[in-house]
Amino acid sequence: MSLVLDDYLIWEHGDIPYEGVSALAPLDKLEEVISEAVFRAEVATWARRIGVEPKEVHLRAMKRKWASCSSKGRLTFDPELLKQPAAFRAEVIVHELLHLRIPNHGPLFKAMLRAYLTKYGVNKIKVEGDLHANYST
């Protein structure tokens, strides 16, 4: 399954993994809970775009952050991320995948993060009201 993130989510081959959502829906309107399979497809799609291959992708409750990337290439995401808007999920996913190339948050990392999010039409957003609101890039 292939996912295109632009101003809209477009699922190819008629596969729409969101019940009750049309094939074309604004990114900021998809705030319902997505399945783990859909989330993993989003991670895989972004990984191909960036040209990286995470060794493992895990979902595990985290108290202070949305996600992490280990030096061994293991990505861990908080399952609460599956309840967030698509654009915010994309920002977190791209952020962690870029750490497979660049381990720090220096100027190159920030430039690449902006470039990927801009190229695919993802506007940076922040989620307010909980511990995770302080996710920073």
Of 28-32, 41-45, 51-55, 110-114, the least confident: 28-32
Question: Which strands form 74-77's sheet, in the order they lie side by side?
Answer: 56-59, 74-77, 67-69
Is 119 inside a domain boundary?
Answer: yes
Per the CB < 8 A criterion, the answer to whether 123 and 26 are in contact is no
Per the CB < 8 A criterion, the answer to whether 44 and 100 are in contact is no
Domains of the chain: total: 1
Is 5 inside a domain boundary?
Answer: no
Structural domain including 59 reads 27-134
Q: Residues 85-125: pLDDT tens digits?
A: 888 999 999 999 999 999 999 999 999 999 998 887 776 65
**Burial bucket for residue 53 (CB in 10 Å: 0-12, 13-18, 19+):** exposed
Is 126 inside a domain boundary?
Answer: yes
